[in-house]
Amino acid sequence: MKKARVFLVGAGPGDPELLTLKAARLISTADVVVHDGLVDDAIMAMINPAARLISVAKSRSKHTVPQEGINDILVREALAGHMVVRLKGGDPFIFGRGGEEAESCREAGIDVEVVPGISAAMGGAAGALLPLTHRDASSAVTFVAGQCKGLTDQNWAGLAGKGRTLVIYMGIATAADITEKLICDGLSPDTPVAVLERVTRPNSRALRTILTDLGDMIVREKVTSPAIIIVGDVVLKSDAEDRLIHFAKQAETLA
């Protein structure tokens, strides 16, 4: 019997050309591929035709398979002697629960290897020519999840502001709450923000406004997930569509 082994493979944010060579090799030779729902179709087409596919797609507040179930699938398939690839959007260790899956495999005595992928933040920022750090604007970057339970109880003070960049994953549905939270934690209402939607894909968008307008802009522009929010002065250096003019016109009309 082959040695039990699981590969946690980052599929990146969408563009198949951004896969690492190792990721491409593993998915083309795997016996079993346990995959997320956000993996691009072009990447799915690269999977070994003989592989058995197991979908564990997730959407907001709805998981087809709970995380414990995913862990069990990986362990079961590996112990059966299969070469298992857990194919995850972005990077396995950036809000991908890869840490939990790795722990479960190790506890079961299964060798596990992580193949990093380009995260949504890195891919989206690159596509929008948005430098997450810049000598004139930011020397620190923080990544947070915008849909975690107890969002209002978390202390985000100091995570954004002068000299800092804040990247918010999974924050589209809670954008209004995020805006209120950041302002209450001391951030200026006119802080630049960008929303990067469907990053690295042909129909991607990069939109820019100010913090006060974030929630309204998402509604006006009909932004949908997957998308990330970036907060900080680096946004002003990006190649993003400026939506602040719409907010200014709206404010002028109300006045």
Query: Per the omega criterion (within 30 degrees of 0), is the bond before 202 cis?
Result: no
Nearest to 69 by CA among 57, 81, 59: 57
Q: Any idea how long the chain is?
A: 255
Three-state DSSP class for 167?
strand
Nearest to 119 by CA among 231, 236, 228: 228
Contact yes or no for 197/204 (Cβ under 8 A) = yes
User: Looking only at Cα atoms, what is the longest distance across the chain?
Assistant: 74
How many CA atoms within 13 Å lie on the side-chain side of 188?
A: 9
What single string gives the DSSP state of each residue in 60-99?
A: TTEESS-HHHHHHHHHHHHHTT-EEEEEESB-TTSSS-HH
Three-state DSSP class for 11?
coil
Three-state DSSP class for 141?
strand
Catalytic residues: 36, 58
Three-state DSSP class for 15?
coil
Q: How far apart are CA 194 and CA 230, in angstroms?
A: 5
Contact yes or no for 39/54 (Cβ under 8 A) = no
Q: Tokens at residue 180, please?
A: 């209120």
